[in-house]
Amino acid sequence: MDLKFKWIDSFYICGYFVETSLDTCDEDLSKLWSDFEFKKEELFNIYGYKEDFYGLMWYTDNHRYCYLIGIEVDNIDKMLEGAIYKYISGTDYAIAYVSADISAIDAWTDYFDKILPDAGYIPNTKHGYNFEYYPNGHTGEYELWTPVIRSGKNG
C-alpha cells in the first residue's frame, strides 16, 4: 500500500448505516452494501448522481462500531428518511491506496498494525472517524483515510 498525506477541508456525508461487530460484520456489511445499491437512488434524487462512495466508521460501546455507506453532500437542508448525516471536520489524513483484490478487513489490519506505525504516525482518535473512499463505486481500487498525528517515532 502506498501512503500519502493530505489536509482535507470539512464536509458532510449522507447515507445509511448499520451497527455491527467484528463477529457479525461480514453479514451486516454485505447486507448494507446490497441495500445501498437500491437506496442510493434516493440520495441521487436529492443530491445528484455520484460515482464515488464513502464507507465511514466510528466506534460505539462494547467492541461495536457503526459503518455508514454514503456520498458527499454540499448541504444538509433536505432530510432523507432513514438516512443520517455525519460531519467530517477538516484535518490531516494519511491515505493508503488499496488494490481491489485486498479485503477491507485485511487492508485496515495491515494499515493500523504496520503501515501507519512504520511511517511514524498514529490515528488521531479525537477526530473520531476513519473511512474508506471508493472513487469508482465499490469496485476497483479504494482508499483508506485516517486522521493522523506524528507519533514521535521516526522523527
Over the chain, what is the mean pLDDT? 89
Q: Which residue type, as a one-letter code, is found at position 31?
A: K
Q: What would the mean pLDDT of 35-56 be, rounded to a whole number?
A: 91
> Quick one: which of 36, 96, 37 has its CA closest to 67?
36
pLDDT category of residue 153 using cuts at 50, 70 and 90:
low
Q: Say yes or no to pLDDT of 27 above 70.
A: yes
Q: What's the grid cell of residue 104?
A: 477491507
Rounded alpha-carbon distances, angstroms, from residue 95 to 53, 108, 116, 152:
16, 11, 10, 19
Q: In 3-state terms, what secondary structure has residue 24? A: coil
Residue 4 to residue 43: CA distance in whole angstroms: 30
- pTM assigned to the model: 0.88
pLDDT above 70 covers a percentage of the chain that reads 97
Query: What pLDDT, on the 0 to 100 scale, is given for residue 60?
Result: 87
CATH class of the domain comprising 2-150: alpha beta
pLDDT category of residue 16 using cuts at 50, 70 and 90:
very high
